[in-house]
Amino acid sequence: MTARGRRRPGALDSDAVGVPGPQRTCVGCRVKASQATLLRVVAVDSLLVADPRRRLPGRGASVHPDPTCVDLADQRRAFPRALRLTGPLDATPVRQHLAQPPARAHPSDESRSTAP
C-alpha cells in the first residue's frame, strides 16, 4: 500500500487466489514441491524418524513419501547434511513408515465406504 492507502499496481495480497503454500525441496530428488506433499523427517539419536504431523522438535528435512527419494537421499548422504549432523543416519524407520498402508482419516470413513 502507498501512503494514501491505495495499492501499488501488481502488489500481492497475502490471501490471493492461486498463491501456493510453503515450498520445500526434496532432499532425495531435489525437486521443489508443496510442503503438504512432502514427508518431514527428523533425527532422533542416529535414526531418521518420519514426522507426518510436523510436530517433532528439531531441524527437519523434507523428502517425497517415495522409497526412491529416500534411497537417493541416503546414497547422496543428504540427510546428515540437511539436518546438519555428522555421521551416518539409519533411514530404516522412514522406510518402514512408507511401507505401512496409509491411515484412515476418521474411523467412520469405513462405514461410509461400505454403505450400499
The per-residue pLDDT for range 25-60, each reduced to its tens digit, is: 999 999 999 999 999 999 999 999 999 999 999 999
SS3 101: coil
Q: Is pLDDT at 85 greater than 60 in this prediction?
A: yes
User: What is the CATH code of the structural domain delimited by 23-100?
Assistant: 3.30.1230.10
Closest CA to 62 of 89, 100, 36, 88: 36
Q: Are 38 and 24 in contact (CB under 8 A)?
A: yes
Q: Is pLDDT at 111 greater than 90 in this prediction?
A: no
Phi/psi at 21 (nearest 5 deg)?
Answer: -75, -165
Q: What percent of the chain has pLDDT over 90?
A: 69
